[in-house]
Chain A
Amino acid sequence: MAVHEQAVDGSLLAVDKLTKVFGTFAACDHIDLAIKPGEIHALLGENGAGKSTLVKMLFGVLAPTSGRILWQGEPVRISSPNAARKLGIGMVFQHFSLFEALTVAENIALSMAPGISLAKISEEAATLSRSYGLPLDPKAHVADLSVGERQRIEIVRALLQNPRLIILDEPTSVLTPQEADRLFDTLAKLKAEGRSVLYISHRLEEVQRICDRATVLRHGKVTGACDPRQETPSSLARMMVGSDVAHVSAEGTSARGDVLLEARHLSAAARTPFAVSLKDVCLKVHGGEVLAIAGVAGNGQSELFDALSGEYPVADANAVQLRQKPVGTLGINARRLMGSGFVPEERHGHAAVSALPLSDNLVLARSVSDRKAFLGGGRLGIIRQDAVKRATKRICEVMDVRKSGEDPPAGSLSGGNLQKFIVGRELDRQPSVLVVNQPTWGVDAGAASRIRQALVDLAKAGSAVLVISQDLDEIFEVATEIAVINEGRLSDAYPAKDLSREKIGLLMGGMQVGKQAESLDAH
């Protein structure tokens, strides 16, 4: 490809027909990419497009099946992260690369060359973090830090290597809008110093704002290389998704029924040292509306879900009310019997057992609520496989779940298809209350839009829907009202149309409830 040859000249890092095959599946298929010195280059693509696989090859975590990597025009073989660091590549992972039990300094030391004392590393880290405006305490244990602070460790750790190229994998997915702004300032500074940045994201707005060039991936192939500022969001989206994605809108939802789900001064102590306690949470969800709860990860979302679902009942029966009846002390199945359904965040090992077939995973959520249909033999509790299989088939058809085989193990489905099944499993019962935690986390755009539409439709039909999500785009698509959770406290709920991203960002950052009104007005 002549165009590509040209691009490779003078580039810092170039990738030529890079391919990675897992079994028979090509996660990256003949990828071409060139990054110039001093540019911020976006790698765009939705979940499962092959972005992470590509980046892992660039950082020496995965070995390519075929193709070449060129560093300053020379072919190189990057056999390990150490080799990548020696070349001058630094990496900021989306997750999975910090050690919770170790201190900040120890975490940094692990990626440095041997022979430097911890004291020296702490000192250098402190200096560097000050000069980039990324304050860090080297002695703190990672387990005690917020998500934003953890990301700073990752960035400082990468910068200490004095890299020529820094790769950031979905860096803003865990940040508040304000924290993201600060990150962009840091990136601008890096660019001014002549360093290159490979910026991986699926957020078009950000990419258009800070990136000089973009390469778009879809199903492991490059579908476009462009200057993002010359494109429109919808043209970029088309390159990413391959077709236009149906737009979801919360229009038509409104609080028109009774209060079906309510939390009254709900408090719960943290169960583990790494968990968050819930503090005096109050919320009301009426029939016909979607209440969305925004917040940065790790601020009590899972704990709130556990308390509302009854997986971990609370001491005060009145703290949780379903259809105006106290249920705080009841277990999850008692609450299901009262017409509610639940979708937890983690698909594997919580909402579903990966090794078991879909039909078993249907029984998982509905063995008590659908006892009459699914069980026979009286007290023996014999599972009626035929009835279960029929219901499984029905759910898969309604939600368009794509699978291999009649009743495959849950683990063999893609994230999006499994999530459609898990949501469909609850919708099939037509619950009057549905609580969903991170409904489309790690799900492809098509499945995400389908799931969001289903949630809105359920509310329109008169049910109360509570959506907990970190994804502001998602929240604005589905919410009738929005509240924000921060360190286990929940803000008041505001009508979605009255809130901007900036205002939500302030609430996410823990703006005091008393000051809320003023600062919201000020914006």
Chain B
Amino acid sequence: MRIELEKRPKVSVLFSIFSPFIALALTLIAGAIMFFLLGKDPGYALYSFFIEPLTEVWSLHELAIKAGPLILIAVGLSVCYRSNNWNIGAEGQFIMGAIAGSILPVVFYEWQSPLVLPLMLLLGMLGGALFAGIPAFLKAHLNTNEILTSLMLVYVAQLFLDWLVRGPWRNPGGLNFPETRTFAADAILPEMVASGRAHWGFAFAIIAAVLIWLMMRFTLKGFEITVLGQSERAGRFAGFSSRKMIWFSMLLSGALAGLAGISEVSGAIQQLRPVISPGYGFTAIIVAFLGRLNPLGIVASGLVLALTYLGGEAAQLSLGVSDKVTRVFQGLLLFFVLSCDTLIHYKIRMVWADLTDTVKDGGAN
């Protein structure tokens, strides 16, 4: 048996809407099988993974806290991927944004002013953007593959943060723990509503998603991004510069990842530690694809992926399975998303081998 693809004469509207849902369903089925193999009751396991975290107010707040950075980063990545720039170093840009934004509350902790927070956010965006500027420069001017450089810089950023919190930025009154001093009150991103912990980072994410959706949908800039992503040559014919687009998309996604980083640190953690991200920068890649690189879709998919983080924690408590299950779920989801996207452009047919060749193949292959 083999599988054959037949190109659809037109892109299937039906499948471009439903393919993420099919992927989700397949992930749930695969997850149920996995729990079954682990000796757990699949129904209960899936319930405690995906439903239970949604039943309480505090956990909804946690959902928003986790979804915020995922959406912010993924929205930026969607612009990169649509324009064919493969920034996979958002994790590093997130960290550098957090570090840059923390300069004020850690180094200049004595300065107290209502300006501190807005400046921190700006510095965070700047830090992320500058760090993304490295692979951007290398690609735009030296023709260096951005996939590898942006990824390598993630490790550099992680080590840099590790050095800071163990070395020069360590809290002098902190019993030698590897962490900075905790942020002062005016350096903390406030909560959105009184009912829980969720901070303004989530609101930033929604605003960014809507703005970028508007840009992609209605403006010439959005058109330029689409054209250059589809064909660099056609973009050149239109007078668009792919070099400028490298800069634009990388700086934009770096700034958003940096904003996510400083929001996380200032809103949720309130100090710097050796590890400040449970892999948001990588998970956001999945968020971007599950949202089909559409900013509004990304809002929904960001919530779904945030749920896998919460579900992993919940499942660990209620089922005693490892929280590594979360990463497996995320990986599976991306696989199914990519598989299901095939349905948008192709009809898939099963062909049963027929062995009636009159003239047999020569042995050449």
Contact between chain A and chain B defined by CB under 8 Å: yes
Query: Is the CB–CB distance between A356 and B227 below 8 Å?
Result: yes
Q: Does B110 contact A (CB under 8 A)?
A: no
| A80, A87, A353, A354 — most chain B CB neighbours (10 Å) | A353
Query: Is the CB–CB distance between B358 and A82 below 8 Å?
Result: no
Residues of B within 8 A of A346 (CB): 233
Q: Does B231 contact A (CB under 8 A)?
A: yes
Q: Which residue of B lies closest to A374 (CB)?
A: B220
Q: Does B56 contact A (CB under 8 A)?
A: no
Interface 9-mer from A248-256, A359-367, A439-447, A486-494: A359-367
B19 to chain A, nearest CB (A): 17
Chain A to chain B contacts (Cβ below 8 Å), 27 pairs: A80-B361, A80-B362, A82-B361, A82-B365, A83-B359, A83-B361, A83-B362, A85-B362, A86-B362, A87-B359, A113-B364, A344-B237, A346-B233, A351-B234, A351-B237, A353-B231, A356-B226, A356-B227, A356-B230, A360-B227, A363-B238, A365-B238, A381-B219, A383-B220, A383-B223, A412-B9, A412-B10
Residues of A within 8 A of B348 (CB): none
B320 to chain A, nearest CB (A): 48
Residues of A within 8 A of B226 (CB): 353, 356, 360
Q: Does A273 contact B (CB under 8 A)?
A: no
Residues of A within 8 A of B227 (CB): 353, 356, 360, 364
Residues of B within 8 A of A409 (CB): 10-11
Residues of A within 8 A of B358 (CB): 75-77
Q: Which of B9, B219, B363 contacts A383 (CB 8 A)?
A: B219
A372 to chain B, nearest CB (A): 13
Residues of B within 8 A of A351 (CB): 234, 237
Query: Is the CB–CB distance between A381 and B364 below 8 Å?
Result: no
Residues of B within 8 A of A354 (CB): 230
Query: Is the CB–CB distance between B234 and A352 below 8 Å?
Result: yes
Query: Is the CB–CB distance between A367 and B238 below 8 Å?
Result: yes
Apart from A364-B237, A368-B239, A381-B221, list 4 A-B contacts with CB within 8 A: A79-B361, A336-B239, A350-B233, A353-B230
Q: Does A514 contact B (CB under 8 A)?
A: no
Query: Is the CB–CB distance between A350 and B231 below 8 Å?
Result: yes
Within 8 A of B (CB), among A364-384: 364-365, 367-368, 375, 377, 380-383
Query: Is the CB–CB distance between B223 and A363 below 8 Å?
Result: yes
A273 to chain B, nearest CB (A): 14
Q: A349-B231, A356-B230 are in contact. Are A367 and B237 (CB under 8 A)?
A: no
Cα distance, A76 to B358, chains bound together (Å): 6
Within 8 A of B (CB), among A54-91: 75-80, 82-83, 85-87
Within 8 A of A (CB), among B324-365: 356-365
For the complex of A and B, the 9 pairs showing the least CB-CB separation, nearest first, are A82-B362, A381-B220, A333-B239, A349-B231, A83-B359, A77-B358, A364-B238, A350-B233, A353-B230
Within 8 A of B (CB), among A490-515: none
Q: A23-B6, A409-B11 are in contact. Are A353 and B234 (CB under 8 A)?
A: yes
B57 to chain A, nearest CB (A): 40
Residues of B within 8 A of A311 (CB): 236-237
A410 to chain B, nearest CB (A): 10
B241 to chain A, nearest CB (A): 9
Cα distance, A383 to B216, chains bound together (Å): 11
Q: Which residue of B lies closest to A371 (CB)?
A: B220
Residues of A within 8 A of B238 (CB): 363-365, 367
Within 8 A of B (CB), among A292-348: 309, 311, 331-333, 336, 342, 344, 346
Q: A23-B6, A351-B237, A352-B234 are in contact. Are A367 and B362 (CB under 8 A)?
A: no
Cα distance, A362 to B365, chains bound together (Å): 46
Q: A352-B234, A409-B10 are in contact. Are A375 and B359 (CB under 8 A)?
A: no
Query: Is the CB–CB distance between A367 and B357 below 8 Å?
Result: no
B234 to chain A, nearest CB (A): 5
Q: Does A461 contact B (CB under 8 A)?
A: no
B61 to chain A, nearest CB (A): 35
Residues of A within 8 A of B237 (CB): 309, 311, 332, 342, 344, 350-351, 364-365
* Interface residues of B, Cβ cutoff 8 Å to A: 6, 9-11, 218-221, 223, 226-227, 230-231, 233-234, 236-239, 356-365
Cα distance, A120 to B365, chains bound together (Å): 20
Residues of B within 8 A of A309 (CB): 237
Cα distance, A82 to B363, chains bound together (Å): 8
How many A-B residue pairs have C-beta atoms within 8 angstroms? Tell me: 103
A67 to chain B, nearest CB (A): 14
Using an 8 Å CB-CB cutoff, how does the interface string of A126-157 with B read, 1 for contact, 0 for none?
A: 00000000000000000000000000000000
Residues of B within 8 A of A331 (CB): 239
Cα distance, A421 to B355, chains bound together (Å): 47
Q: Does A355 contact B (CB under 8 A)?
A: yes
The dominant DSSP class at the B interface is loop
Query: Is the CB–CB distance between B223 and A77 below 8 Å?
Result: no
Residues of B within 8 A of A83 (CB): 357, 359-362
Q: Which residue of B lies closest to A85 (CB)?
A: B362
Query: Is the CB–CB distance between A114 and B363 below 8 Å?
Result: yes
Residues of B within 8 A of A365 (CB): 237-238
A398 to chain B, nearest CB (A): 22
Cα distance, A313 to B10, chains bound together (Å): 37
A326 to chain B, nearest CB (A): 19
Query: Is the CB–CB distance between A380 and B219 below 8 Å?
Result: yes
Residues of B within 8 A of A356 (CB): 226-227, 230
B229 to chain A, nearest CB (A): 10
Residues of A within 8 A of B223 (CB): 360, 363, 367, 383
| A86, A355, A382, A412 — most chain B CB neighbours (10 Å) | A382
B340 to chain A, nearest CB (A): 19
A21 to chain B, nearest CB (A): 11
Cα distance, A83 to B361, chains bound together (Å): 5
Q: Which residue of A lies closest to B7 (CB)?
A: A23
Residues of A within 8 A of B230 (CB): 349, 353-356
Q: A23-B9, A82-B364, A350-B237 are in contact. Are A382 and B359 (CB under 8 A)?
A: no
Residues of A within 8 A of B233 (CB): 346, 349-350
B364 to chain A, nearest CB (A): 5
B290 to chain A, nearest CB (A): 21
Residues of B within 8 A of A408 (CB): 10
Within 8 A of B (CB), among A396-426: 408-409, 412
A107 to chain B, nearest CB (A): 14
Query: Is the CB–CB distance between B359 and A77 below 8 Å?
Result: yes
Q: Which residue of B lies closest to A79 (CB)?
A: B357
Q: Which residue of A lies closest to B357 (CB)?
A: A79
Cα distance, A79 to B361, chains bound together (Å): 7
Residues of B within 8 A of A114 (CB): 363-364
Cα distance, A336 to B234, chains bound together (Å): 16
B360 to chain A, nearest CB (A): 7
Query: Is the CB–CB distance between A349 and B234 below 8 Å?
Result: yes
Cα distance, A349 to B238, chains bound together (Å): 11
Cα distance, A412 to B234, chains bound together (Å): 17
Q: Which of A77, A87, A380, A383 contacts B356 (CB 8 A)?
A: A77
